Amino acid sequence: MNTKKIIISTILFLSFFSLIAQDSLSIGLAINKALENNYGIITVNKSHEINKLNNTWGNTGVLPTVKFTGTGSKLWNYNDNDNFTSKSLSGSVDLNWVLFRGFSARISKQNLEKLEKVSEGTIAITVENTIVDIILAYYNILLAENKMDIAEKNMNLSEDRYKQQEQRKQLGTAVTYDLLQSKNSFLEDKSKFLSAKAAYNNAKRQLNNLMAVDLNTNYIYGSSFTINTKNFKIENLEAKMLENNNTLRNQYINLEIAKLKVRAAKSAYYPTISVGASGGYNDTDVNYNTNNNRDNSSDNFSTKTQMSVSYSIYEGGSRKRALQAARIKEEISEIETTEIQQKLKNQLAQEFELYQVRKELLVLAQENIKAAELNLKLSEQKFKNGTINSFNYRDIQQLYANVALNYQNAMFDLIQSYHTLLRLTGGIIDELGV
């Protein structure tokens, strides 16, 4: 599918799923804004326009060139015999056409077509990376917001405990040490809440930057994570990656360009055949001041055609060296292609294993958070009843905070691995249903 069509279809598809409220921002609408405004996408689109403009036969030297030259002059001659003036007008049209130069024009056109495809591939890579960046930046806001809520909840619990200790101190049932310990815990948790709030604001600015909107724009975001836990097979992912990964596709085109350069170097061994035609007109008038009998004028029209064949017998070995260098560059491109394939296979294997592990870690985190929430609830009642002391309650409170944060991180990590696999296999567009 044409890259521009992909972008337009993606925008239309995602717009359908955007939230209706003006200040609401869904993932679809965020991607929509980025595809329209992202600086990187705009830049690669402009570069593609240049390559598209350059992809013409006129840039290959296969078309003839036509040149017009016109001159006009006037001469004033002063001498002892008789002064005179002379006027001259001339014009010519020259046509030159190189009919054959070793298939270089056709090779050049193919090279321009490959460069245009490379730029299309670069657009696809940039679009995919931007979509993944937007998705992760969006979920990072939800992650930061959830962490901020956890920090706020923890801070409120510490504040309640601190106030209870103050009351107990006034009643004489708590010592100063317990009060100070509760106060320190409250101040520590408040500091963590403020840091979490700052991280949340930074996450929002990061998404706004990717969408190329005002950094201080505020939106209403989704309320929860959307977790995808598909059962992938590494063999299917690898086959899909080798076929659809846009970085690899671009490298395949670069390899074809290297092969074209070898053919271009070989074309230097062929002769050059060119034809030309020209037509010219010349008009001259000479006028004497006194002796008009000597006045004269002339005009003429001339045409000429020519055909030439040239062949360079020896150029100091430059053609041979150029061909050898082109072949070496082709070998380098083949090695680079193999290297990229190997790196992508390695990266895919790592991401696949990480995805599998993170699915299991999320299950464990879900069980852990349930236990931690119940433990915190029971411990809060026990602390109020005086069954456990403030130190035990603080330990359980810290345990809950850590488990809650681990649960949020586990969800985000799984989302990140899932979309990394989609990006590696070129499946982002397919995932959106385009």
More confidently predicted of 175 and 299: 299
The residues near 104 (Cβ < 8 Å, ≥ 6 apart) are 60, 61, 264, 267
Distance CA 225, CA 30 (A): 15
Q: Dihedral through CA 74, CA 79, CA 82, CA 86, nearest 10?
A: -10
Report residue 249's pLDDT band, with 50, 70 and 90 as the boundaries. very high
pLDDT for position 265? 93
Least confident stretch, 45-49, 138-142, 382-386 = 382-386
pLDDT for position 299? 83
> Is residue 22 predicted with pLDDT exceeding 50?
no
The first and second tokens of residue 411, run together, are 């969800």
The first and second tokens of residue 273, run together, are 């055949």
Report residue 172's pLDDT band, with 50, 70 and 90 as the boundaries. low
Question: pTM score, two decimals?
Answer: 0.79
What strands lie across the sheet with 84-100, from one edge to the other? 65-77, 84-100, 272-288, 296-310
Average pLDDT over residues 310-320: 90
More confidently predicted of 23 and 353: 353
Give the phi and the psi of residue 114 in degrees, each rounded to 5: -65, -40
> Is residue 8 predicted with pLDDT exceeding 50?
no
Report residue 62's pLDDT band, with 50, 70 and 90 as the boundaries. confident
The first and second tokens of residue 330, run together, are 């082709």
Average pLDDT over residues 89-103: 89
pLDDT for position 401? 86
Q: Among candidates 71, 70, 89, which has minimal Cα distance to 285?
A: 89
pLDDT for position 174? 59
Fold of 3-37+102-270+316-431: Outer membrane efflux proteins (OEP) (1.20.1600)
Distance CA 414, CA 377 (A): 28
Average pLDDT over residues 325-337: 95
Report residue 23's pLDDT band, with 50, 70 and 90 as the boundaries. confident
Least confident stretch, 19-28, 320-329, 357-366, 386-395 = 19-28
The residues near 353 (Cβ < 8 Å, ≥ 6 apart) are none
CA atoms within 13 A on the CB side of 115: 18
pLDDT for position 3? 53
Q: Where along the chain do its domains lie? A: 3-37+102-270+316-431
> Is residue 328 predicted with pLDDT exceeding 90?
yes
Q: Is the dihedral of CA 230, 235, 240, 242 positive or negative?
A: positive
pLDDT for position 368? 93
150 sits in the region (left: phi over 0; alpha: psi -120 to 50; else beta) called: alpha
Distance CA 253, CA 260 (A): 11
pLDDT for position 49? 92
Give the phi and the psi of residue 19 in degrees, each rounded to 5: -70, 150
Answer for the pair 225, 104: CB distance below 8 angstroms, yes or no.
no
> Is residue 239 predicted with pLDDT exceeding 90?
yes
What b/e sequence results for 10-47 when a residue is b if at least 16 CB atoms lie within 10 Å of its CB, and e otherwise? bbebbeeebbeeeeebbbbbbbbbbbeebeebeebbee
Average pLDDT over residues 389-402: 82
pLDDT for position 20? 43
Least confident stretch, 34-43, 197-206, 252-261 = 34-43
